[in-house]
Homo-oligomer: A and B are copies of this chain.
Amino acid sequence: MGLNAPRRGADVWLHCRAMRKLASYIRGSWFPGTGNARPLHNPATEEVIAETSTEGVDFAGAVAYARSHGGPALRELTFAQRGELLGTMAKAIHGAREELIALAIENGGNTRGDAKFDIDGASATLSAYSELGRELGDRKVMADGDGVQVGRTSRYQGRHILVPRHGVAVHINAFNFPAWGLCEKAATALLAGMPVISKPATATALLSHRMVELFVANDGLPSGALSFLAGGAGDLLSHLRGQDVLAFTGSSDTARLLRAGENMIAHSVHINIEADSLNAAILGPGVDDGSETEELFLRDVTRDIVQKTGQKCTAIRRIFVPEDRLDRVADMLRDRLSGTVVGNPADKQVGMGPLSTAAQLRDVREGLARLAAGGTTDLVGGSGEVSPVGVPEGKGYFIAPVVRLARDPRAARVVHEHEVFGPVATLMPYSGAAAEAAELVALGDGGLVASAYADDRAYLRDIALALAPYNGRIYLGSSKMAAQSMGPGTVLPQLLHGGPGRAGGGEELGGRIGMALYQQRVALQGDTAVLKTIAE
């Protein structure tokens, strides 16, 4: 067989892979971008595995179509019906789980465990909101509290309801959770009755793209309910108005630019931000050596360093332990992390994959240098140099797990001010007093989650209340729940995700709480009987 004779089968497959080009889904159909496409890489090998462009996308048209088609169609449905749609989406993911895991390994640098975490997190969140839809039932209006008398007699009442905004929800997601990020935002908005335009980070968009293909292939989703941009957002945001919503997850630098957008400000576009967070874990005093609670603490801390190569917005970055436990904890972290096999996640022995992009690797290296210069010393992993297994020499965006030590937490300001978005955390001592720990945590200026580990209920209560103003979620680790816990790094659909200050001040998930972003709260006042027909 000559070189030019085509071999059907393998070659076509290779050809398809090489040409894998992502398209955007707008106005109810797939649109391949024009012009120069941007490459997507395998972060372990640096191979180009796909390309995408949103050049030529009619962003104004996408917004208009979502508003005029997706919105009305969703608002025609009851909560229960919207919940059914979400259930179908969850099934679509679950049915293609192995294929999706492969894409996450290939494009995200995820280990199989990391990939499952992202993908199963996505389907679990869709399922939880599907269930919430079932609970909310055969209605389209959500009552918010009971009626209150506002006149002399009970005939004249006031009461609040929540209705879907008549715009579009634009979702800009981060590179680290292409599955979960897309679905957690979409589930909330769709259940509330708003159409979604979802834009993943371009670098890891392969998985999101395939998921949207699966969602769209399902007949149930009304046209315009879910649109997808496989790449840059162009002038999308300039088309948003007062009924629209922007939900963003990513760096606080980008968040600032979005918030300051003239258009956003002029039209009071509703914005939710999930940004940087220097999440803290605190070992309480009096936790026995070798106890279940100590083990939970160590397991949670090491998981958050290694899982997703530390690229979780909820990952523990700061570890506070009572002064007299510092050496013991340092030793145990060294023991547990030193055996981590770093390399190509396609290789099953690998425990931690690469960072997702070359830019992340650069940022993490800079972050490590900043920590080294800012009052921390080496505990585990040094400067992060590593010889990854299963990759071509010199390729891939790899870094070793790193733990720094800051003996004087107040002097080491950088630890509380700069998030290093990789497998990096800093260990610090404190007195053991709840108030002092909370004060140190607050130096981070607001976080998504803080965790405290103890079996002393009074300590847990004190530290929870002291931490509360500065954190969106507080995880209280104890022997009572150790066996059931997935750790503070796991975002649960039932609980609030978001935090004040540096974390952006947002509120996502938490069941109905996160839906409020997509709803207008309205006070009604009038004849009690009329209000009843509207709200119930």
Chain A contacts to B: CB under 8 angstroms: 141, 148, 150-153, 155-156, 158, 160-161, 163-166, 241-243, 256, 259-260, 265-268, 270, 273, 275, 442, 445-446, 457, 460-461, 464-465, 468-478, 480-481, 484-485, 492, 494-496, 500-505, 507, 510-511, 513, 520-527, 529-531, 533-534
CA distance A260 to B258 in the complex (A): 11
Chain B residues within 8 Å of A161, by CB: 468
In contact, B520 and A468 (Cβ under 8 angstroms): yes
In contact, A460 and B526 (Cβ under 8 angstroms): yes
In contact, A153 and B484 (Cβ under 8 angstroms): yes
* Interface of A, helix, strand, loop or mixed by DSSP: mixed
Contact of A241 among B160, B243, B445, B507 (CB under 8 A): B445
CB-CB under 8 A for A496 and B521, given A268-B446, A460-B530, A534-B465: yes
CA distance A524 to B522 in the complex (A): 29
CB-CB under 8 A for A156 and B484, given A259-B265, A502-B242, A521-B507: yes
CA distance A521 to B514 in the complex (A): 12
Chain B residues within 8 Å of A158, by CB: 492, 494-495
Chain B nearest CB from A175 CB (Å) reads 22
In contact, B160 and A513 (Cβ under 8 angstroms): yes
Chain B residues within 8 Å of A505, by CB: 242, 268, 270
In contact, A522 and B475 (Cβ under 8 angstroms): no
CB-CB under 8 A for A524 and B270, given A163-B469, A260-B265: no
Chain B residues within 8 Å of A501, by CB: 241-243, 267-268
CA distance A27 to B138 in the complex (A): 55
Chain B residues within 8 Å of A527, by CB: 460, 476, 478, 480-481
Chain B residues within 8 Å of A475, by CB: 525-526
Chain B residues within 8 Å of A504, by CB: 268
CA distance A461 to B484 in the complex (A): 47
CA distance A244 to B291 in the complex (A): 40
Contact of A150 among B469, B478, B495, B534 (CB under 8 A): B495
CB-CB under 8 A for A521 and B525, given A153-B484, A260-B265: no
In contact, A468 and B163 (Cβ under 8 angstroms): yes
Query: Nearest chain-B residue to A501 (Cβ)?
Result: B242
Known contacts A242-B502, A243-B500; 13 additional CB pairs below 8 A are A151-B485, A164-B469, A165-B469, A268-B500, A461-B533, A472-B520, A472-B522, A473-B523, A475-B525, A476-B530, A478-B527, A480-B529, A513-B521
Q: List 6 A-B contacts (CB under 8 A).
A: A152-B484, A156-B485, A160-B495, A268-B503, A461-B533, A477-B526
Chain B nearest CB from A130 CB (Å) reads 16
